Structure 1
Amino acid sequence: MQDDDFSLFSQAVRGVKPITHDRADTGKPKADRSQVASRRQNATVGTAERTVDGLSDQFVIDVGGDEELYWGRDGVQDSQLRKLKAGQVAFEGSLDLHGMSVEKARETLWAFLAEAARFEVRCVRVTHGKGIRLDGKRPLIKSHVNTWLRQHPQVLGFTSCLPKHGGAGALYVLLKRTMLEGRDE
């Protein structure tokens, strides 16, 4: 019976040539390490003093990767912020800033908040990541988002999410609504 199996296998693979190398060709060119390092450096280096739609980087509040964030504009009720922190205010939109340069994150965040305001959205989630860095420095995107949201006129407050929504790597952001509900807190 073993001879039958061997002869069947031999017939099935007749004419097949053995592979001469053991590396797969993914079709993707190898990453140029110097180019990757250059891109990384450019993503972290700010260009002079730039502001986009009023969001400034002149003073950035450094925060730790696992640090919980909590902020409310003057006049916003503590009870609203406690509900936000407890996840009791449903978020209606979500934005993920992972892997973006600081400039791209700023532009994307501004456009996202403008869109949320246009649709009278009350709460959104912004995922910035914890930014755990090998060089031991503070997380860039998280620190910048923390600073930018405090400057944005539509933001009433924000707090780190519950673990199921990203924990210290994401924020619930409470936004002003003007037309549907009248005046906000």
Structure 2
Amino acid sequence: MNDNDFDAFKQAVAGITPYKQDKYVPPKTKIVKKTHSNEPNENSLSKQASASFTFSDIYQAHFDENGPLKYTREDIPAYTTKQLRRGDFAPEWVLDCHGMSKDEMKQELVSMIFLAQRQHIACISILHGVGTGVLKRSLPHYLVQHPKVQAFHQAPLEYGGHGALLVMLDVVEPKF
């Protein structure tokens, strides 16, 4: 920048008063712990979900061993399973069961389905992994037992492939 430019700038801004910086300091707020609330906390929701449904380890559904793992409830069109296979439904929530025992998976599965119902989520993904196959073999038998499960299918590759299931749930429409 040369002297002519500097002089031109001085003339252009002559008579302008600079802004004064105002520094706002927000007031300190007190943290108030609520002892009672009408909103259910996470622990009470988990207990409510566990109490709402339990899975049986004795029940064994029959699945075709020659194709991908899939199921459609009787009142649901078979086309829904095809849409799950193609990946037409993207899962909104994912439950990762890697490293869980069967009992932990059952509890998490019940809670996930319960909370998905409360949030009006229709499609979830359950990652069971491949590993020893304990979770992979037991998960479909649990899902068939739950009344809110409409259909499930082995997930497409982008959602986990052989190590995951896409699950469609009944969505309860809010009553106005």
- Normalising to structure 2: TM-score of the pair? 0.64
Is 1:114 aligned with 2:130? Answer: no
Check conservation: 1:61, 1:143, Cα contact below 8 A.
Answer: no
Check conservation: 1:98, 1:129, Cα contact below 8 A.
Answer: yes
Aligned partner letter, 1:70? K
Secondary structure at 1:126's aligned position in 2? Answer: strand
Give 5+ residue unaligned stretches, structure 1: 1-50, 134-138
1:20-70 Cα offsets, whole Å, 9 max, x none, are: xxxxxxxxxxxxxxxxxxxxxxxxxxxxxxx9823100134598xxx7311
Q: Paired residue for 1:95?
A: 95
Is 1:154 aligned with 2:148? Answer: yes
Aligned partner letter, 1:127? L
CA–CA separation in structure 2 for the residues paired with 1:61 and 1:151: 9
Q: Paired residue for 1:81?
A: 81
Matches within 5 A, 1:1-80: 53-60=53-60, 68-80=68-80
CA–CA separation in structure 1 for the residues paired with 2:68 and 2:157: 11
Is 1:145 aligned with 2:144? Answer: no
> CA, structure 1 residues 75+52, in 2 after alignment: closer, same or farther (shift >3 Å)?
closer
1:135-171 Cα offsets, whole Å, 9 max, x none, are: xxxx111111110000011100100111121101101
RMSD between aligned alpha carbons?
2.7
Q: Paired residue for 1:23?
A: none
Check conservation: 1:71, 1:157, Cα contact below 8 A.
Answer: yes
Indicate which of 156, 164, 174 corresponds to 2:168: 174
Q: CA deviation at 1:94?
A: 0.5
Q: CA deviation at 1:84?
A: 1.2
> CA, structure 1 residues 62+153, in 2 after alignment: closer, same or farther (shift >3 Å)?
closer
Aligned partner letter, 2:88? Q
Check conservation: 2:61, 2:144, Cα contact below 8 A.
Answer: no
Residue identity over aligned pairs, in percent, reads 29
| Aligned pairs, number | 125
> CA, structure 1 residues 62+78, in 2 after alignment: closer, same or farther (shift >3 Å)?
closer
Aligned partner letter, 2:128? H
- Normalising to structure 1: TM-score of the pair? 0.61
CA–CA separation in structure 2 for the residues paired with 1:110 and 1:68: 24
Check conservation: 2:149, 2:169, Cα contact below 8 A.
Answer: yes
Check conservation: 1:52, 1:106, Cα contact below 8 A.
Answer: no
Secondary structure at 1:80's aligned position in 2? Answer: helix
Where in structure 1 do 4 or more consecutive aligned residues deviate above 6 Å?
none
1:81-133 Cα offsets, whole Å, 9 max, x none, are: 111110001211100001101111110111011100111101000001113x3
